[in-house]
Amino acid sequence: MTEPVTSDAHSTVIEKLSLLDRFLPVWIGIAMAAGLLLGRLVPGLDTALNLVQLDGISLPIALGLLIMMYPVLAKVRYDRLDAVTGDRKLLLSSLVLNWVIGPALMFALAWLLLPDLPEYRTGLIIVGLARCIAMVIIWNDLACGDREAAAVLVALNSVFQVIMFAVLGWFYLSVLPGWLGWEQATISTSPWQIAKSVLIFLGIPLLAGYLSRRLGEKVRGRTWYDSTFLPKVGPWALYGLLFTIVILFALQGEQITSRPLDVIRIALPLLVYFAVMWGGGYLLGASVGLGYERTTTLAFTAAGNNFELAIAVAIATYGATSGQALAGVVGPLIEVPVLVALVYVSLALRRRFTPNNPATMLTDRSPR
- For 269-284, what is each residue's pLDDT tens digit? 999 999 999 999 999 9
Phi then psi for 58, rounded to 5 degrees? -50, 135
Rounded Cα gap, residues 75 and 141, in angstroms: 10
* Cα 319 to Cα 352: distance, rounded to the nearest angstrom: 47
Q: Rounded CA gap, 128 and 331, in Å?
A: 10
Q: Is 29 exposed, middle or buried (0-12, 13-18, 19+ CB in 10 A)?
A: middle
> Rounded to whole angstroms, how far apart are CA atoms 250 and 39?
4
Distance of CA 364 to the CA centre of its chain: 23
The pLDDT of residue 361: 39
Convert 209-257 into a string of H (helix), E (strand) and C (coil): HHHHHHHHHHHHCHHHHHHHHHHHHCCHHHHHHHHHHHHHHHHHHHHHH
Q: Which residues, other chains included, contact 110 with Cβ-Cβ below 8 Å and sequence gap of 6+?
A: 120, 121, 122, 124, 125, 128, 269
- Taking alpha carbons only, the member of 11, 151, 165, 24 closest to residue 82 is 151
* pLDDT reported for residue 289: 92
pLDDT score, position 335 = 87
> CB of 295 within 8 A of CB of 353?
yes
At 114 the three-state DSSP class reads coil
pLDDT at position 162: 84
pLDDT computed for residue 266 by the predictor: 94
Which stretches of the chain score pLDDT less than 50? 1-10, 12-13, 357-368
* Predicted TM-score of the model (pTM): 0.80
- CA-to-CA distance for 171 and 130, rounded, in angstroms? 14
